[in-house]
Amino acid sequence: MQLVAHPEQFDVMVMPNLYGNIIDNLAAGLVGGAGVVAGRSIGSDAVIFEPGARHSYQQAFGRCAGILIRFISFRSYPSL
């Protein structure tokens, strides 16, 4: 309830995968739906960056690319 009513009070939320998926979908609805957000899954051996839904907008693909570039430490390129 607090996430929907006052989302600005949350900076980082850490939780197990099941609850993370639920909160991820809820938060995506606050910004326009799953098609406009970029997702990331960070494991011990691999990292996956993906658009949020089956019908993704180009904006989500661009965000995934920007997050990937930041993750691999190319700091100057995402701002182009």
What is the tens place of the pLDDT at every residue in 16-58? Answer: 988 988 888 888 888 888 778 887 888 888 888 888 766 667 7
Nearest to 60 by CA among 24, 33, 36: 36
Task: Please name the amino acid found at residue 3.
Answer: L
The domain limits of the chain are: 2-79
Instruction: State how far the Cα of 39 lies from the Cα of 25, in Å rounded to an integer.
Output: 10
Cα(16)–Cα(24) distance, integer angstroms: 12
Specify the pTM: 0.56
